[in-house]
Amino acid sequence: MKAINKSIWIKLFLIISVMQIGTGMAIAQNTTIKGTVTDARTGETLPYVSILIPGTTMGTASDAEGRYAMTLRENHATIKFTYVGYVSVEKPITPGISQTINVKMEVDASMLKEVTIKSKGRYRNKDNPAVQLIREVIAHKDQNKMASNDYVEYEQYEKISLALSNLSDEFKDKRIFRNYQFLFKSQDSSSMGGKNILPAYIQEKLSKVYFRKSPYNKKQLVLANRRAEFDAKFVDNDGLSAYFNRLYEDINIYDNDISIATNLLLSPIANTAPTFYKFFIRDTIKTSTPWLVELGFVPRNKTDMLFEGKLYVTLDGNYGVQNAYLTVNKDINLNFMRDLEARLEFEKSPDGRYHMNKSTLAMEFALGDKNGGLYGQRTVNFKDYTLNQPRPDSVYRGPGEEIVYNPEIKTADSFWESARHIPLEKSELDIYRNIDTLQTIPSFKRTMDIATLFLSGYKSFGKVEIGPVNTFYSFNPVEGFRLRFGGRTTTDMSKRVYFETYAAYGFKDKKWKYFLSGTYSFNNKSVYHFPLHYIRASFQRDTKIPGQELQFVQEDNFLLSFKRGDNNRWLYNDIYKLEYVREFESRFSYKIGFTQWRQTPAGVLRYESLDEEGVLKNAGVLNNTEANIELRYAPHEQYYQGKLYRTPIINKYPIFTMRYNAGLKGVFEGQNNYHNVALNIQKRFYFSQFGYADVTTEGGYILGKQIQFPLLTIHRANQTYAYQLNSYNLMNFLEFASDHYASLDVQYYLNGFLFNKIPLLKRLKLREVVSFKGLVGGLRDENNPAFNPSLYRFATDADGKPITYTLSREPYIEGSVGIANIFKLLRVDLVKRFTYLNNPNVSEWGIRARFRLDF
C-alpha cells in the first residue's frame, strides 16, 4: 500500500461471511478430470494444448509440462483437445467421479505445410522463433506506443462494476431475500463469479484525454461521473471509488510493468520479458489483414508475479500487438486472487499503427476456494482519436499527469443514454436503484454496523457515536488498570460543528484524564472528508510516554499495554491546542497551530537540575508554548477515510512533509525559545517481479540555546512486541536525544521472489522482507546537560546513572529479516541492533510481529 487497505477488504468479506452464517454452501456432484497430453509418435509432452467442453465456454489449457486438470459442476459427455499442427481428439467423460484422461495426439500432416511445431525437449531462448518474434515486438515498442506521437487526444468511457460472487443457491433462497430476488443475477456457472452474483456497485466516467509528448503532459478532463453509493455512515464512498480504481488500473501492454491489485507484474513485452517468460508460437492467422501470429506465453516460475496468456502480433513490419489476453497462474503468489482475466483490443489508425480500442480487466477476490467472494470488472472504451494536432498551452497546463473534473459535470440519465460508448446491461442499470434497496434490508444494515464496529471501533447512535472500543480498557505501570469511555458527534447532528470527548480513570494513580474538542468545518462536509478545511480547539489532560509516536493506533490501545523492559517513565500532560487545517485538490495542504502545554513527569521520571551551589533540585513541571506550521505535498495521493484515520493507497509518487515549531518564551508561561525544523520524504520504489521498497528519509535541526531535554528530538522508540514501521524497534524509550539528526528507513518486500524458487516453501506462498534503519545525530554543547548544570538532567535509573544518550559517537543502526504473508496476514521479523550495545538494558536481538493484509 503497498500495504493493502485491510479495512475495506475485511469489511467486504465480513458482509459475505456474516450473511452466510448458518446457510452453508450448495453441494453439487462435481466431475474432476486430469491427465497429460503427449505427442503420439515421440511421447514428448505438449504444452498449452486447448481443452474444451463442446457446446460450452468452459475450458482450460495444459501447462508447460503437458499436464491439465479441471472440475465440472455439471454433467457433460465429452472433452475435446485441440493443438495447432495436430488432429483434434475428443474423449468421453464419466460424470460424477474423478478420472484421469491421458491423451496422445497425432500430427496433422495437412497442416505441416503451414505451421511447423518444434519440440526439442528443454525450452531455451536460443534459435527459438517465438523468442525471436517477441524480441521484434520489444524492438518496435517505442514506435507503437501512443507516446510516439507528439500530440494525441481521444474520448474515454470507463465503467467499473462489483458484485458479491459465487453465492450458493441456499444463500440466495434465504428467507430475508424472499422479496428481493431481483437483486441477484444468474449467469453461466462457468463464468467468472459463479452461477449466482449480487451486483453491489457501479461507477461510470466519461472523459476527454489530452496527451503532449514534450514537455510531457497527460490531462484527463472528466466530463461526467456517476456511481452507486452506500450509506456514508458506514462507507467512505470517495475512498471506496479511489481504492477500486487503484485495484483496477489502466493496462498498457507497452509499459514494462502492469499494475494488478496494487502489485506490479512484468509485461510480456517488457525489455527483460524473454528472461522471465517462455514464449510459444501457437498459430498463424491468415484470414486477417495484416496476418497475425498467436503467441502464447507463461512464466518460467509459475509462482512468480508474472502473467500468462497470449498475444496476437501483426506481421506487417510494425510487430504491433493487435489483441492480448492476460491471466495469472493459479499458483501465483498473489493473495485472495481467485481468478483474473484481462483482454486488450486494438484497432488500426490512419497512421498504420494500432491504438487501444477497448480494455477489460476482471478479477475475483475471496478468502478461500469455497467462500463467497467479490467479483469486479473494469471496462474502458476509447474512440475519436486525433493525432498530432496541438491544443493551446492552457489545455496542457498543470502537473505531468492530472485528472480534472468538469465543474458542470453531467449525471442525468438522459445524458448517459447517448454518451455511453457501450450500453449497460439491464442488471447494471438496476444497480443504481438496487443499492438503495439493499441498504433497507435489516440484515445488511446489521452486518454493516457490526463490520464498522469491528474495524473502526465506533458504534453509531444517530447524532453521536461511541468509541473507539479498543481503548476502553488498558493498563500501564503509572496508571495501573485504566478505564476509558468516549464518543463524538456525527453529521446527523451537524455538518459544520463537531464535538469529541473522552474520560479515563487510572486505578493506581487515582487520577482522572479527559479530552474535549470542538471543530468547525468550513466546507460544510464531514470534518474527515477531503479536502479538509476546518478550525479546531481542544484541551487534553492525559499521560504519554516520551519518545513514542504511533501511527494508525491510539496509545491506550489494549494490545500496546504489553511492553518489554523498563517502562515506568511517563508524563502527565495538560495540552491546549488551536489548529487550522486546509487541503487542496492538488494534494497540497498546510496546518497552522498554536499549542500550550504543561508537562509533569510521572513514574520514576524526574525533571531535575543543579542550582548555583551545585545542589540537585526538582523542577517539577515544564511549561511550553509553541507556534506550529506544517506543509505537506503528496501528488496523486489517494486513501480510504476511516472513522479515525486515513489509510493511504500507496502509489509511486513521493510525499513531502515539512514541520516548523517555534518556542515562544514568555507567552502563556512559555519557558523556552527555539526553532525546530524537520523535513520528511517518503517514496515507494517498484522493482517489478523483484518486489518493491518503501524508503523514508528524515532530517531535523533545532536552533536555540539552553533547550531543556524534553523539548529536544527524543527519537521514536518501541518497547512493544509489535513491529512498528516508523519507530526503532530495539531502542528503549528516552534512550537517545538530539538537536540535529538525519535518518534513513528502508523496508524491502521481495514478494516471494526467493521463496518461490524453493519447492517446499513456494506452496506456502510466503514472502521475504528485509529492513534497515539508520540514524545519525548529535547534541551541541549549549544544549547538553553535561555542560550546562542548569538544564534538566537526562533521565536516570534507580542508581542515578543516565539512561539517555547522544548520538555523537556513531550512528544508531538496526536491521531485520522477516517472513511475511504467514496465513496471508502476519509478518514476523528477526530484528538485530548493531550499535550502542553497551547501553544498559538493551537487547541485541528481538522478534517482532505485525499484521499486514496485502495482495
DSSP structure class, residue 747? E
**Count of alpha carbons within 13 angstroms of residue 852, beta-carbon side:** 26
What are the φ/ψ torsions at residue 31 (nearest 5 degrees)?
A: -115, 120
Q: Taking Cα atoms as reference points, which of 150, 171, 294 lies closest to residue 215?
A: 150
Q: What angle in degrees, to the nearest 10, is found between the helix axes of 237-247 and 6-19? A: 100
- Binned at pLDDT 50, 70 and 90, residue 117 comes out as very low
Strand order in the sheet with 50-52: 59-61, 50-52, 78-82, 89-92
| 8 A C-beta contact, residue 251 and residue 342 | yes
In the beta sheet, which residues pair with residue 571?
544, 601
What number of residues does the chain have?
855
In angstroms, the CA 580 to CA 852 distance is 33
Note the pLDDT of residue 784: 94
Is the model's pLDDT at 88 over the cut of 60? yes
Is the model's pLDDT at 504 over the cut of 60? yes
In angstroms, the CA 133 to CA 273 distance is 12
| 8 A C-beta contact, residue 231 and residue 447 | no
The pLDDT of 802-815, averaged and rounded, is 93
In angstroms, the CA 167 to CA 124 distance is 44
Torsion of CA 718, 719, 724, 727, to 10 degrees: 10
Note the pLDDT of residue 15: 44
Task: Name which of 500-509, 557-566, 728-737 the model is least confident about.
Answer: 557-566
The grid coordinates listed for 441 are 434490508
Task: Name which of 578-587, 675-684, 754-763 the model is least confident about.
Answer: 754-763
In angstroms, the CA 444 to CA 452 distance is 12
Q: Taking Cα atoms as reference points, which of 795, 787, 793, 797 lies closest to residue 616?
A: 793
Is the model's pLDDT at 544 over the cut of 60? yes
The grid coordinates listed for 682 are 517518503
Is the model's pLDDT at 8 over the cut of 80? no
| 8 A C-beta contact, residue 377 and residue 16 | no
The highest-confidence range among 415-429, 451-465, 721-735, by mean pLDDT, is: 721-735
In angstroms, the CA 625 to CA 630 distance is 17
What are the φ/ψ torsions at residue 317 (nearest 5 degrees)?
A: 95, -15
- Binned at pLDDT 50, 70 and 90, residue 527 comes out as confident
Is the model's pLDDT at 844 over the cut of 90? yes
- Structure confidence by residue, pLDDT tens digits, 438-461: 777 777 777 777 777 777 788 888
Is the model's pLDDT at 838 over the cut of 90? yes
- Structure confidence by residue, pLDDT tens digits, 236-287: 777 777 778 777 888 999 999 998 887 889 999 999 999 999 999 988 887 7
Higher pLDDT, 611 or 685: 685
Task: Name which of 449-463, 479-493, 667-681 the model is least confident about.
Answer: 449-463
Note the pLDDT of residue 547: 53
The pLDDT of 107-117, averaged and rounded, is 50
| Residues contacting 683, CB < 8 A, separation 6+ | 652, 653, 654, 655, 694, 695
Residue 434 burial (10 A CB sphere; 0-12, 13-18, 19+): buried
- Binned at pLDDT 50, 70 and 90, residue 825 comes out as confident
In angstroms, the CA 23 to CA 133 distance is 53
Note the pLDDT of residue 145: 87
- The residue type found at 701 is Y
pLDDT, the chain, mean: 84
746 alpha carbon, distance to own chain's centre = 18
The highest-confidence range among 222-231, 360-369, 806-815, by mean pLDDT, is: 806-815
| Residues contacting 520, CB < 8 A, separation 6+ | 496, 497, 498, 534, 535, 536
- Binned at pLDDT 50, 70 and 90, residue 212 comes out as very high
570 alpha carbon, distance to own chain's centre = 35
- Percent residues over pLDDT 90 in the chain: 41
Tell me the three-class secondary structure of 559-593, residue by residue. Answer: HHHCECCCCCEEEEEEEEEEEEEEECCCCEEEEEE
Is the model's pLDDT at 126 over the cut of 70? yes
In the beta sheet, which residues pair with residue 841?
none
Note the pLDDT of residue 384: 92
Task: Name which of 23-32, 734-743, 761-770 the model is least confident about.
Answer: 23-32
- The residue type found at 374 is L
- Structure confidence by residue, pLDDT tens digits, 39-60: 887 777 887 788 889 888 788 8
The pLDDT of 507-524, averaged and rounded, is 93
Is the model's pLDDT at 1 over the cut of 50? no
The grid coordinates listed for 138 are 520489444
Q: Given CA atoms 277, 282, 285, 286 in this order, what sign does their dihedral have?
A: positive
Higher pLDDT, 101 or 369: 101
Question: What stretches of 246-352 adopt beta strand conformation (E)?
Answer: 257-260, 263-266, 277-285, 292-299, 308-314, 321-327, 337-348
In angstroms, the CA 552 to CA 644 distance is 8
Task: Name which of 179-188, 459-468, 539-548 the model is least confident about.
Answer: 179-188
- Binned at pLDDT 50, 70 and 90, residue 404 comes out as confident
Note the pLDDT of residue 133: 93
In angstroms, the CA 218 to CA 609 distance is 61
In angstroms, the CA 424 to CA 287 distance is 32
CA distances from 764 to 397, 816, 848 (A): 49, 21, 21
Task: Name which of 63-67, 375-379, 386-390, 552-556 the model is least confident about.
Answer: 552-556
In angstroms, the CA 727 to CA 548 distance is 8
Note the pLDDT of residue 644: 59
In angstroms, the CA 6 to CA 1 distance is 10
The pLDDT of 211-227, averaged and rounded, is 90
The grid coordinates listed for 106 are 497425432
- Binned at pLDDT 50, 70 and 90, residue 189 comes out as low
3-class SS shares of the chain: helix, strand, coil, % to 5: 15, 45, 40
- The residue type found at 305 is M
Higher pLDDT, 762 or 218: 218
In angstroms, the CA 413 to CA 436 distance is 17
Element housing 373 (H / E): strand 373-387
In angstroms, the CA 829 to CA 239 distance is 31
Q: What angle in degrees, to the nearest 10, is found between the helix axes of 6-19 and 442-456? A: 140
The grid coordinates listed for 607 are 525533571
| 8 A C-beta contact, residue 438 and residue 461 | no
Note the pLDDT of residue 798: 75
- Percent residues over pLDDT 70 in the chain: 90
The pLDDT of 402-419, averaged and rounded, is 79
- Binned at pLDDT 50, 70 and 90, residue 391 comes out as very high
CA triple 119-120-124, angle to 5 deg: 100
The grid coordinates listed for 852 are 499486514
- Structure confidence by residue, pLDDT tens digits, 770-787: 999 999 999 999 999 989
Task: Name which of 312-316, 585-589, 850-854 the model is least confident about.
Answer: 850-854
Is the model's pLDDT at 12 over the cut of 90? no
Tell me the three-class secondary structure of 771-833, residue by residue. Answer: EEEEEEEECCHHHCCCCCCCCCCCCECCCCCECCECCCCCCEEEEEEEEEEECCCEEEEEEEE
| Residues contacting 350, CB < 8 A, separation 6+ | 387
Q: Given CA atoms 717, 720, 726, 729 in this order, what sign does their dihedral have?
A: positive
Is the model's pLDDT at 562 over the cut of 60? no
Note the pLDDT of residue 474: 85
The highest-confidence range among 600-614, 751-765, 813-827, by mean pLDDT, is: 813-827
Note the pLDDT of residue 63: 77
Task: Name which of 142-156, 524-538, 541-555, 613-627 the model is least confident about.
Answer: 541-555
CB atoms within 10 A of CB 501: 15
